[in-house]
């Protein structure tokens, strides 16, 4: 499965992963070698978030190489030389903080994607591009990939950058033959070596385990939004690599649509003493909608992620860490 046929002969598949040590990437580099054991993996990360532990305990039998570089300045054509596919995870992903760093967001996200896509064109490398379902903003009950521009109303600079990057790839695909697929990912939840806690589910799990009240945006409590289990995110990328069809398609990828209130109820079922504080926030999107993933399901992908199971796993992991930390404080 990990061989690709080039010029009539078999060659080892080479997969480049940008932002390889982040929340998704650190799980991906553990999981993909199991499905593609003979592949070569090039891991690119600028270490700005210092997630060194993401490199720990990688499978010893797999051909890994690590490149400490930044996508906005390094020679991407050199990194992609001989690669079949690049999975582009390098980005600033915190929507809330994006209001205060729009220039950096534009430089890292848009300019970085532009440089990478142009390098893909030059080297003939296929691109898996993860966008976000946050590009949607509609008064309809549900929305899919074929929606009109009136349903694409990003509510943060982060989401705006994702939509602009989608449009960039469409132009390069049409005008310069870029081979790519775009995934609009739901909000990620789940455990990984490089996991972050700025998105709803993981952040709430952290606050709950630490005995803090959950801080919930007033406007979001009863809103429905799409969420994506990290397991399903990894499986979706592997599914596409297996199909090897980079035709410029756009797919929504999610595990479930849920409201913040439903997520809070799941956490409270594990931690009954949970308190909730409603707060104002800069992101004041009052729209509620569900996202359809029928297009991706129609080509054979079946999500198996589960909010309740993942929340339980995350809380159990954090409880173990919190218990150890509390013991250290007592011993001190």
Q: Which fold has domain 3-192+228-255+289-305?
A: Rossmann fold (3.40.50)
- Separation of alpha carbons 266 and 260, rounded Å: 10
Look-up of token digits 């906005």? 72
- Separation of alpha carbons 216 and 276, rounded Å: 7
- Separation of alpha carbons 158 and 91, rounded Å: 10
Find, among 93, 52, 58, the residue nearest to 196 by Cα.
93
- What b/e string do you get for 264-291 counting C-beta neighbours within 10 Å, with b at 16 or more? bebbeebbeebebeeeeeebebebbbbb
CB-neighbour burial class of residue 221 (10 A; exposed 0-12, middle 13-18, buried 19+): middle
Query: pLDDT digit of tens for each residue in the chain (332 aa)?
Result: 444 433 333 458 999 999 999 999 999 999 999 999 999 999 999 998 888 888 898 888 899 999 999 999 999 999 999 999 999 999 876 555 545 566 777 777 899 999 999 999 999 999 999 999 999 988 788 999 999 999 998 878 888 999 999 999 999 999 999 999 999 999 999 999 988 888 889 999 999 999 999 988 777 788 899 999 999 999 999 999 999 999 999 999 999 999 999 999 999 999 999 999 888 765 545 678 899 999 999 999 999 999 999 999 999 999 976 654 444 334 44
Indicate the pTM of the whole model.
0.89
Report which DSSP code applies to 14. Answer: E
5 bridge partner residues:
10
- Separation of alpha carbons 260 and 137, rounded Å: 17
217 bridge partner residues:
279
Tokens of 160: 């705006």
131 bridge partner residues:
184
List the chain domain ranges. 3-192+228-255+289-305
């Amino acid at each position: 499965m990990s061989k690709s046929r080039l010029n009539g002969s078999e060659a080892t598949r080479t997969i480049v992963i940008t932002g390889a040590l982040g929340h998704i990437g650190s799980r991906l580099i553990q999981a993909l070698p199991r499905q593609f054991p003979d592949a070569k993996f090039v891991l690119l990360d600028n270490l700005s978030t210092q997630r060194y532990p993401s490199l720990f305990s990688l499978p010893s039998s797999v051909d890994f190489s690590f490149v400490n570089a930044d996508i906005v300045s390094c020679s991407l054509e050199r990194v992609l030389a001989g690669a079949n596919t690049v999975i582009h995870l390098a980005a600033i992903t915190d929507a809330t903080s994006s209001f205060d760093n729009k220039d950096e967001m534009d430089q890292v996200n848009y300019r970085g994607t532009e440089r990478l896509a142009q390098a893909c064109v030059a080297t003939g490398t296929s691109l898996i591009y993860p966008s976000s379902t946050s590009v949607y903003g509609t008064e309809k009950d549900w929305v899919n990939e074929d929606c009109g521009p009136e349903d694409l109303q990003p509510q943060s600079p982060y989401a705006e950058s994702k939509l602009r990057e989608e449009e960039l790839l469409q132009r390069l695909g049409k005008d310069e033959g870029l081979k790519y697929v775009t995934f609009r990912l739901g909000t990620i939840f789940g455990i990984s070596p490089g996991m972050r806690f700025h998105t709803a589910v993981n952040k709430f799990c952290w606050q709950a385990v630490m005995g803090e009240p959950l801080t919930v945006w007033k406007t979001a409590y009863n809103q429905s939004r799409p969420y994506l289990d990290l397991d399903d995110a990894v499986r979706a990328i592997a599914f596409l690599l297996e199909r090897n069809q980079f035709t410029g398609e756009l797919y929504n990828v999610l595990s479930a649509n849920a409201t913040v209130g439903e997520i809070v109820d799941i956490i409270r079922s594990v931690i009954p003493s949970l308190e909730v504080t409603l707060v104002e926030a800069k992101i004041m999107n009052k729209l509620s909608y569900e996202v359809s993933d029928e297009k991706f399901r129609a080509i054979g992908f079946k999500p198996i992620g589960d909010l309740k199971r993942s929340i339980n796993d995350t809380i159990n992991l954090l409880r173990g860490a919190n218990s150890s930390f509390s013991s250290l404080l007592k011993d001190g």
